[in-house]
Structure 1
Amino acid sequence: MNLRPFALTSLALTLVAGCGAAPSSDTSPLGLDLLVEKAVTDQLSAFQIVVLPDGKQRDCTELQKTCLNQKVRLDELLPLHDARGRESRALRFLENLSGTGVTSQDVSFEAPVGRDYVLVIEAISNESPPRFLGSSCNYLPEVNASRNDPVIAAPMTLTTVDCDPTF
């Protein structure tokens, strides 16, 4: 596979309140709107979403160079819940993009209420075994039980890294 480097410059994620299942006492619903250039969608299989504590102590540039599972331990990841209420430390959403030119996909999940987090979204290839296509790393200063301010994700650049990002 020839992965020529090009930016997913229109990959933007917006976190908004009100998406997903009703929140429990210690989680907050978050919605992600994934926007991706149509030109790269033929390489994508899924997106993997994780949230890490101690965001101010983490270097997003370093976290994005290769698979996150080579940088952090599974027990460091915060527990997340998908829209059906299933818990996982790394949520995986199959690529289900729609639209023309710039395609989009809505994703929702619940994250623990707290402060100083990092949200990492990894693009996963459709190869077997899966390969890391790139990631977006975003500081989340606070996740509230009720209303969350919108967050625009950092752009994702596709890279050729021979690692399986699956946790």
Structure 2
Amino acid sequence: MSPRPSLLLLLGTTLTAGCGAPPESGNGFPLELTLSRAVADELGAFQVVVLPEGKSRRCGDLQRTCLNQQVKQDEALVLQGPDGNKARALRFPAGLQSGAQELLVDIPVGRDYVVVIEALSRSNPPRFLGSSCNYLESVSAARNEPLIAAAITPAAVECDPSFAP
């Protein structure tokens, strides 16, 4: 059984993507993400989904509305969170400290992925606030290069971004 690399997500409210060097993290992917103040004020959680066949997908289209309305649930890769739970969409409570938050996600070794990080509201059910879409060329069992995330694109769309368990 091959090891599953971790994807370390560093989320922040900085105004510029890629400020400073991302932290080192073994086999994972440090990821820095920017948020607009409007999104940060309502933010309750982040949802991380990884899709195969990344080159065939258009990030602009994926960011317009909830991802679960655009792809079949079984298209998403099964991910594992730091608590050992596995799911096709991992949700992390927002806990920005000093404008940053680290999330740890294990993703399968492979090529040609797209990583979608959706910002979810605090409301119940959660509302889609916007998303970040990032192409990921490959994930290896060895050390991986850092990935700098695109800024979250705010979206004025009413939809529940929840993936079924």
TM category (shorter chain) comes to: 0.7 to 0.9
User: 1:158 & 1:53 partners in 2: Cα distance?
Assistant: 24
User: 1:38 & 1:51 partners in 2: Cα distance?
Assistant: 23
**1:1-150 counterparts in 2 under 5 A?**
25-36=2-13, 37=35, 39-40=37-38, 41-99=40-98, 103-150=99-146
User: 1:116 & 1:134 partners in 2: Cα distance?
Assistant: 23
Render the CA deviation track for 1:92-125: whole Å, top value 9, x for unaligned.
00001111xxx11010110000000000000001
- SS of the residue corresponding to residue 27 of structure 1 reads coil
User: 1:72 & 1:161 partners in 2: Cα distance?
Assistant: 17
User: 2:55 & 2:36 partners in 1: Cα distance?
Assistant: 33
AA matched with 2:2: S
AA matched with 1:27: R
What is the Cα-based RMSD across aligned positions, in Å?
1.4
- SS of the residue corresponding to residue 56 of structure 1 reads helix
Report the TM-score, using the length of structure 2 for normalisation.
0.81
CA 38–132 in structure 1, closer or farther in 2 if over 3 Å, else same: closer
Cα deviation, residue 159, structure 1: 1.8
Percent identical among aligned pairs is 53
| Structure 1 equivalent of residue 150 of structure 2 | 154
- SS of the residue corresponding to residue 65 of structure 1 reads coil
User: 2:119 & 2:10 partners in 1: Cα distance?
Assistant: 14
Gaps of 5+ in 2: 14-34
User: 1:140 & 1:26 partners in 2: Cα distance?
Assistant: 18
Gaps of 5+ in 1: 1-23
Cα deviation, residue 56, structure 1: 0.7
Size of the aligned set, in residue pairs, is: 141
Cα deviation, residue 164, structure 1: 0.4
AA matched with 2:158: D
